[in-house]
Amino acid sequence: MLWTTPLLAQRTLTGRVTDSKDGTDLAGVTIIQKNTMNGVASSTDGSFQLTIPSSPDSVTLVFSSIGYVRIERRVPLNKPVDIALSQDTRQFECDLLIAYPRYELGLSSGVLHTPAGATLLYRPKLRNLATVVLSYQTNLGRNYQASAAVTSAEQYPGHTFQGNASVEHRRIRLADDGFHFVSTALTTNVSLQRFRYFTLVLGTGYAHQQTENTRAYGLGYTFGGQSFVPGVDILLRAQATRWPGYWQWQGSATHQMRRLRLSLLYNQVRQYREFNLGASYPIYRERP
């Protein structure tokens, strides 16, 4: 009987989450009992079931989802709950709400070849431009990797299809191995409102790769995916690019800890392999 008492005190709350604009069922919405770790995610038809470990008359729930305004609601336990979320029309980058321009300065380290480096990120005051990122790493000798990327703001937020595009120029040199790689690539990130946690990555570009014995250059194509993992707040990305005669494999994991952004990146081009560790912090914020 000592173990049955808490079980009898449990109650199950049911409900459904929809879009306030058109009534569409919302899948993947996080529902958490306030000030606890007790939570669930809504299913494909927007429904959810949450077990309350005690038996109060009502509880406060927190409803959150990427692209929607987070709300708190005190709800009774004696009847189903219907919640309508409003779309947030402000600009999002991943799951991070950016309400004003800012600079970020980061330190980066290539574990195998380029241990010392820095990254500068800038969000300008331009309607359709989200970020400009410059990065440089070196071994304080002749090895280096450098990149410059421009990313557009998200287009058509709140619509069935939404996404953005980026252009990146990258240069890699390993002097001892005689390896040299230069690429310019255009990639697009496309997502469906129904699958907000997954983004399809497609792209194309031009690359020139050279070693002491080989040389290859020409057009290539990119495909991959990006997914946000709720709960742990990690953004995962993996992509493969087919250049003439060889593949390039890239992956990343990014986590935001308050204002500190941590990242782990992997890049492989033929015999070149590198793991990059990064940490960036905003050094300037302009209040709206």
Decide: helix, strand or coil at residue 249: strand
Domain range enclosing 80: 12-85
Give me the mean pLDDT over the 28-32 stretch.
Answer: 87
Specify the CATH number for the domain of residue 236: 2.40.160.160
CB atoms under 10 Å from CB of 10, counted, come to 11
Q: Which amino acid is at 138?
A: T
Do both 146 and 68 map to the same domain?
Answer: no
Lowest mean pLDDT among 31-45, 172-186, 258-272: 31-45
Compute how many other C-beta atoms are within 10 angstroms of the C-beta atom of residue 55: 10
Q: Clarify whether residues 207 and 116 are in a common domain.
A: yes
Residues 215 and 79 in one domain: no
Residue 4 per-residue DSSP state: H
Tell whether 37 and 170 lie within a shared domain. Answer: no
Indicate if 127 and 47 belong to the same structural domain: no
Return the biggest CA–CA distance within the chain: 77
Percent of the chain with pLDDT over 70: 83
Residue 27 identity: A
pLDDT band of residue 22 (cuts 50, 70, 90) is: confident
Question: What's the pLDDT score for residue 67?
Answer: 76
Residue 113 in any domain: the answer is yes
Instruction: Tell me, yes or no, whether 131 and 81 share the same domain.
Output: no
pLDDT value at residue 134: 95
pLDDT band at 55 (very low <50, low <70, confident <90, very high): low
The answer on 132 and 75 residing in a single domain is: no
Looking at the structure, do residues 47 and 101 belong to the same domain, yes or no?
Answer: no
Q: Say whether both 275 and 149 belong to one domain.
A: yes
Boundary of a domain, candidates 25, 59, 85: 85
User: What is the tens place of the pLDDT at every residue in 235-248?
Assistant: 899 999 999 999 99
Tens-digit pLDDT profile for residues 203-216: 999 999 998 888 99
Per-residue confidence (pLDDT) for residue 3, from 0 to 100: 36
Q: For residue 103, give Cα distances in angstroms to 120, 128, 149.
A: 7, 17, 15
pLDDT for 4 beyond 60: no
Do residue 193 and residue 70 come from a single domain?
no
Task: Tell me the pLDDT band of 192, cut-offs 50, 70 and 90.
Answer: confident
Q: How confident is the model at residue 163 (pLDDT cuts 50, 70, 90)?
A: confident
**Residue 127 banded pLDDT, cuts 50, 70, 90:** low
pLDDT digits (tens, 9 = 90+) for 73-98: 999 888 899 999 988 655 444 444 44
What phi and psi, each to the nearest 5 degrees, are found at residue 6? -65, -30
Number of domains in the chain: 2
**pLDDT for res 223:** 96
Of the residues 59, 85, 111, which one is the last residue of a structural domain? 85
pLDDT confidence bin for 128, thresholds 50/70/90: low
167 and 271 inside one domain: yes
> pLDDT category, 285, cuts 50, 70, 90?
low
Query: What is the reported pLDDT for 7?
Result: 42
Flag whether 248 is in a domain. yes
Mean of the pLDDT values across residues 13-36?
A: 88
